[in-house]
Amino acid sequence: MPFAGDGYAFLLPSKYNPSKERPFPNTDCYFEDNFDQVTNISVIVEKASKNSIDAYGKPEAFLEQLGYLLGVQSYSGQTRSEGGFAANKVSTAAVLDVGTREAKGKTYYQYEILTRTADGDEGGRHQLISATVSDGNLYIMKLQSGDKRWFKGQERDLRTALGSFTVA
């Protein structure tokens, strides 16, 4: 179903509910799957330091500024390499795809990332991110799904929402 925020719009899957939670600063909206809170959609609106997304550099360079959206390893100490993690690491992020798209005269940087933690919950989390700049604001849409739910239909719903994300 269509959702319109302040200066942006996207198609929200029907089984998502609004949440009062705001996991990141400047979160304008946050929706959770009514079955699983791990699966969620958020839009962050903050003042842009550049006048276009292209001014931030190539998509790969801009991704470094979005690292906070993926979380940071909070554990520090000695660990053995277990489950494919490097020694003394309990989390990892793999960039699966980086690209751009054009919509209504704006360029959007888009990312697909798989994050994993040593707790093994859900086999990891798929992250889809889209970002653009308009009227002095940086708009970032972040969609997340656990790996198991991703392959049980969430991929289609979240890719549809990502592809529909437009900024005025």
Give the domain ranges of the chain. 2-69+84-167
Q: What is the pLDDT of residue 81?
A: 53
CA distance 116 to 120: 7
Strand partners, 56: none
With tokens 């308009």, the residue in question is 134
The pLDDT value recorded for residue 31 is 97
Model pTM?
0.88
How far apart are alpha carbons 138 and 131 in whole angstroms?
Answer: 7
Structure confidence at residue 118 (pLDDT):
58
pLDDT at 92: 76
pLDDT of res. 52? 96
Q: Would you report the helix, strand and coil content of the chain in percent, each value rounded to 5?
A: 20, 45, 35
pLDDT at res. 6: 95
Residues in contact with 152: Cβ distance below 8 Å, sequence separation at least 6, in sequence order: none
Alpha carbon 115 to its chain's center: 11
pLDDT tens digits for the chain (168 residues)?
999 999 999 999 999 999 999 999 999 999 999 988 889 999 999 999 999 999 999 999 999 999 888 865 555 666 565 556 556 555 678 899 999 999 999 999 999 999 886 565 567 889 999 999 999 999 999 999 998 889 888 999 999 999 999 999
Grouping H, G, I as helix, E, B as strand and the rest as coil, residue 80 is coil
The CA distance from 21 to 46, in Å, is 17
Pairwise CA distance, residues 5 & 147, whole Å? 28
62's torsion region: left (phi>0), alpha (psi -120 to 50) or beta? alpha
Q: Which fold has domain 2-69+84-167?
A: Protein Transport Mog1p; Chain A (3.40.1000)
